[in-house]
Amino acid sequence: MAESRTPDQVVARAARATDLADLDAAVSDCFACPRLVRWREEVARTRRAAFRDQEYWGRPVPGFGPADARIAILGLAPAAHGGNRTGRIFTGDRSGDVLFAALHRAGLANQPTSVAADDGLTLRDTRIFSAVRCAPPDNKPTPDERDTCAPWLHREVTLIRPTLRVVVALGAFAWAAWWPVLRQVYGQRPPSPRPVFGHGAHWSGAAVPELLGCYHVSQQNTFTGRLTPGMLDDVFGRAKQLAEVD
């Protein structure tokens, strides 16, 4: 498979993806953002002491979940020692512990933990992906990196568009990343002014998925009590209701 090493190559390769398996493979072969490539590979070489004996994925992290998902969860980017290590989004870190426990309580995951790509986890009616597919330094992608990566997001939403009914944006970055999708995938002009992000925020448009805001499942939010299990349960309960998922 040809690697994507420039923004134009990302656009072309994303457009050619025929299904999610094809897209996931193409995402994993992206080298278009030099800073992110250097960082993800450096982290994979040096490793955290607790994972010293493990082989890190060290590549972009594709989405996870069924092709007929009615709910999408949109995050910021993989964690350096989470998805960048395991190769699966929100897997192997504290954020994933909180997220998948909530999805299990909501009946959207078959188990409450996500520790490795081969741990047997499956999702029901739910697909998870991020706006930026590589782990960024300090969890802060640049605007250029966000825009270079956007075609992967746009194509992924296009492929699940027939069934997609609700998008849960984890954090303000993901909330902002959704608006270009309206134009690129649905051919609709984003609202102006943009709706303000907040936990429990809800935006609805014509013939497009409902958008729900949720504080990110970061340790900064969950350890301080800014985001509680009950707050997550409320968001996913609302998402299921809007998506008409039992």
Q: Which of 171, 69, 79, 66 is nearest to 122 (CA)?
A: 66
pTM score of the predicted model: 0.97
pLDDT digits (tens, 9 = 90+) for 54-81: 999 999 999 999 999 999 999 999 999 9
Contact assessment for residue 146 and residue 46, using Cβ atoms and an 8 Å cutoff: no
Residue type, 214: C
Q: How far is residue 183's CA from residue 66's CA, in Å, rounded to a whole number?
A: 24
Q: What is the C-alpha to C-alpha distance for residues 172 and 188, in angstroms, rounded to an integer?
A: 21
- Residue 17: what are its φ and ψ, rounded to 5°? -65, 125
pLDDT in tens, 108-137: 999 999 999 999 999 999 999 999 999 999
**Ranges of residues in the chain whose predicted pLDDT is under 70:** 1
State which amino acid sits at residue 37. Answer: V
Give the whole-angstrom CA distance, residue 125 versus residue 144: 32
Rounded to whole angstroms, how far apart are CA atoms 105 and 98? 11
The two tokens of residue 24 are 């996931």
